[in-house]
Chain A
Amino acid sequence: SQQGEEDPQALSIQEGENATMNCSYKTSINNLQWYRQNSGRGLVHLILIRSNEREKHSGRLRVTLDTSKKSSSLLITASRAADTASYFCATDAWGTSGSRLTFGEGTQLTVNP
């Protein structure tokens, strides 16, 4: 079963607004990562938050992690048209063959100029 569930599935905002995406997961994790994917392209790693961290910032990105609720959020502030992409959370947990990532369903973000 899919580890991560994200909401919303799609989000459309105006340039300059903030965008918030949420991710929930089911099992214990080592860390949680957020990735961006432009249409038909590879993944771009955005930020990693460890299981013992609650909040992390990187530029216009802010990630929170609540391990008691098994959820995370990604906030993009002052969005730009170039932020239009799909955003995925991925949980990193130990499996029988070592560390493995399980991806959420993704949020399609559209930033309108």
Chain B
Amino acid sequence: GAVVSQHPSWVICKSGTSVKIECRSLDFQATTMFWYRQFPKQSLMLMATSNEGSKATYEQGVEKDKFLINHASLTLSTLTVTSAHPEDSSFYICSASGSRNEQFFGPGTRLTVL
């Protein structure tokens, strides 16, 4: 149990385009979802926390207009990187948390912006 999927697993896009990443909890209801970013050889940095049906809470330094987060259902959250630039190239990882507060991580999405 407690499986979290992400789609796509990797994406390459041109500078200036927008990219949407999906995070799904497959076998439990996720009241809270988290989005992390990881640059090469670095740790995971929390970008934002989203609760189902409410606006996401962004960490300091993360632009909410650039990284749009939608958590419209208890099993799906999406992260849209708007007007992506090469510096947004990174590994994006989501996690989902249900009633027990434990976080379950997705496999990550590798974004490369050309």
Q: Which residues of A contact B (CB under 8 A)?
A: 2, 35, 40-43, 45, 48, 88, 96-106, 108
Nearest chain-A residue to B48 (Cβ)? A97
- A2: B residues at CB distance < 8 A: 43
- A100: B residues at CB distance < 8 A: 34, 46, 49
B49 touches A97 (CB 8 A): yes
Q: Which residues of B contact A (CB under 8 A)?
A: 32, 34, 36, 41-46, 49, 51, 57, 91, 93, 95, 97, 101-108, 110
Most buried by B among A35, A98, A108: A98
B93 touches A42 (CB 8 A): yes
15 residue pairs A–B, Cβ–Cβ below 8 Å: A40-B91, A40-B108, A42-B106, A43-B44, A45-B104, A48-B102, A88-B43, A96-B57, A97-B49, A97-B51, A98-B101, A100-B34, A101-B46, A103-B43, A105-B43
Extra 15 A-B pairs, beta carbons < 8 Å, given A97-B51, A99-B97, A103-B45: A40-B91, A40-B108, A41-B108, A42-B93, A42-B105, A42-B107, A45-B104, A88-B43, A88-B44, A97-B49, A97-B57, A99-B101, A101-B34, A103-B36, A103-B44
Alpha-carbon separation in the docked complex, A36 to B34 (Å) = 18
Nearest chain-B residue to A4 (Cβ)? B43
- A108: B residues at CB distance < 8 A: 41
- B110: A residues at CB distance < 8 A: 40
Nearest chain-B residue to A104 (Cβ)? B43
Interface of A is mostly: strand
Output the least CB separation between B15 and chain A (Å).
23
Alpha-carbon separation in the docked complex, A25 to B106 (Å) = 25
A43 touches B105 (CB 8 A): yes
- B45: A residues at CB distance < 8 A: 103
Output the least CB separation between A29 and chain B (Å).
13
Alpha-carbon separation in the docked complex, A97 to B45 (Å) = 16
Nearest chain-A residue to B93 (Cβ)? A42
- A105: B residues at CB distance < 8 A: 42-43
